Amino acid sequence: MSIRNWEGLQIPVAGTFALDKAHTRVGFVAKHMMVSKVRGHFGEFEGTIVIGENPLDTSVEAAIKTASIETGAADRDGHLKSDDFLSADKFPEITFRSTRVASHSGDEFTLVGDLTIRDVTKQVTLKVEFGGANTNPWGQELFGFTAVTEIDREEFGLTWNQALETGGVLVGKKIKIEIEGEAVRQA
């Protein structure tokens, strides 16, 4: 396995890695009715992580198919794909492109980048936890990670909502994005 010791971490040597779709979950959490949380994920996505010679020069690019949204309720999924929310027909992808690794402490990194939803691009900050590097039984080098951020959906044009008789709204403004992943060496 091509790993190196960097500031106490065993990390892969520089190279290009692709998200392993079988071992990656691109998920989200939204507040519902002001009292509970709805969880969902996207089933179709791709991503590339280029680890630099200096690990702080690492870059990430990802694309998520909006029509692949799943929350476990077909009617809700249809509504989320509609013009009220993601407008999947007009905007088939959500994209992320990192701009820099802002900081790190131990196995935790702060990754800054541009998130685009419905053709609206905003800078977001992801807290990334490096999970370790290994080789799978088929000889492929990989590493694991967790990345989390929170966005205000209304900043991306996702403004649909419904007032509740008891006060508050049906859907919360804040959306937590949670990615659990593995990436496999390509080059």
- Residue 155 CB: number of other CB atoms within 10 A? 14
Structure tokens of 20? Answer: 């392993």
At 126-156, the pLDDT tens digits run 999 999 999 988 899 999 999 999 999 899 9
153 phi and psi, to 5 degrees?
-60, -30
123: left (phi over 0), alpha (psi -120 to 50) or beta: beta
Domains of the chain: 3-185 (2.40.128.110)
At 31-71, the pLDDT tens digits run 776 667 889 999 999 999 999 999 999 999 999 999 999 99
